[in-house]
Structure 1
């Protein structure tokens, strides 16, 4: 692989992202440090080798390029890559080669090709064998709409021959299709097929080469799909393509996000980044976001997994219409973009906020430990309901909780609280408040100077001890221990 970086700007977040993906996939690569012609004072020499043009620069420019190159070396070292300028590398198996180039003037391009070819021959010799007389095999780079031709596919033909009139098999969003080649167009020599505007019509193309293929029914072809010329073995070729399309290198989970991307490579890269961030993926597919994706996403149980990530792919109109319906607008979240880390950061920010909101709601529903003292000379009403003054000794006291004595006997339900004649919902340790207790009579169920505890349901105790202990103050933990000891005298496993 070739990682292209602007030598004047250095590594950007998306380039670092690409490095991490290459490392994760164990893919060898070289670095093309482009735009050397943008270095202040650079004297261009079109299509010359780097060392030739470098030797013709003045000392200030030489020093500046050296400085920029070693900034790249430093950035790579921060990510545990050993690197050096290509003409100083002693062992290409241990160090990355940095090749300074200019795409505009062609300077250094010959060196880039030399290093790339040399490394490929040295380390990928067995994979470079090809046939130039058998049926063609290739990979779809991109699907494009061309004026006068309709939908076309840009293909890298890596084996065999493809000719006008050949029947080919290729994968689409609806499955593997066959179609007949209507026209073949080749870019000019040494021109990039993805950006080339002038093509030559040819009758056949021999591997290895880039070619634009025009044929009926290519509008739904998946970028990254294998292309095979059919030579009397249609079902076998279809099975091979289907197997390759289903063997996408992703890890799926029973519960997680739905992700869609425009190419297989993008899908695998996105899945890898999500996996490294410990975000599970339930379904990963190449193609646009459909109505079915939105409907399925709404059924996901975990709220912060009810999300669709659309990477560099479109949202179909019926899916957009469904997303505007109130139910789906509230339940399903859509993240789209063409830079992986931007999409990932957007999802993580939303997920963390969602988790905070869910935790807050759980906190509001969970009954927490508290201990209170019924103060003397503060019985304002004996019953219906009993109104008394209390001091909160530990924890936080909330309305609606049931109260018990320290021996476990029930007292009644706390209906309301007042502090300085104002109704409050919560009282903290140290507060002295007036409370009304429904179902209790002062002097019977409780008396002055009694210490009362909040009666916590067993299922709430399980949640608190498993997930929320760190949120409790020390005094609240002591009250929880006191309360659980009361119940675990008879049943040691109560609340566990």
Structure 2
């Protein structure tokens, strides 16, 4: 067995300086300063660092994982805790312990992952390190010198003050763990990112935990498999092989694997190699009729999980149902599915294909897209809040019958909120959005003509409508 370089996850609440710290650390390595955006594609990068007091020839490699702080990325944070040997928990001295801090601490406790606390933003005038220590103690984290044994250091990621000392503590912690590997074994590791590129196919970011990753070998996870065609290291260079703890991009998977999945290479993965296609999941018809159908797309697997988390939260407020999900840009097929089902399209960090855009514009399909998760969440919530009319008077259609023809229909329904009056105009709603307009021609209850019907009454109606009607549609009436 050989000594292995540490894999470090930097985690913390949004805006606590996690990304600034990662950028500061990246600048300590000349190679990484020249690597550009490749590290964002992988979700990790590797630096070469010389500890304080060590000979310049004794440089150490450290791999850093980048995990988004927004709550929608909870799955990615959970997986990072599993992958990392040590976690640096960033807490802002001007803000203290926040929801994602507590969220991360739960993961650390569950996985029993060693961690170090970096109290950041000490350069700010309102920084209060002592209060931050107290907040941490209240959360069950007792720092060294403050009644506990958790290593910590105060830093300013903005100025770089304290960052070298933090790296020294990180290396010391990893040395105590005695990390080792077998470089002669078939490679094993974890999927960090997964996305579909129109030209290159499936591009997968990984970190190697054991063995040597080699070009040309079979590779598989529980959900995807293939043969490695190219390996691109964290500096953006194509390489033939990769040693343990190193991050890289892999081309060759037949389908995009899930973020957090373990991969294996060599003979152990041969039986798993199979034809893999990008799949979409379709909800049952009954559920689709009762809820707003959603078609969701994201640029990579981690982003798709984040979007699903946003929708799960919104499902507590609105009747929504994901009927299709996938990785990659929005294409004509998604637009046609939205047209067929009356659904809407949600995209995170993706583009809309020209053919899809033509269908969307021609048929007035709703498509909401953004590159920033919290802006997308806000836009989605505003859309549904504006379209669900809780205060409207309405009739729910229980049955439709043969009618005079043309644009006139005979329907049976129930008044959900009344009163509803004869000869009133209405909007026709399906899947919590308006699809047409009409007017009551005749209103009956108990087979007798009535001028109005109150709440909970069952009614028969002859109506005119510019759109065909079906069971579970709703007639919405504005309050006068």
TM-score, normalising length from structure 2? 0.50
Between Structure 1 and Structure 2, which shows a larger proportion of strand residues? 2
Higher-helix-fraction structure: 1
Which structure has more relative contact order (CA 8 Å, sep 6+)? It is 2
Larger Rg: 1
Q: TM-score, normalised by structure 1?
A: 0.48
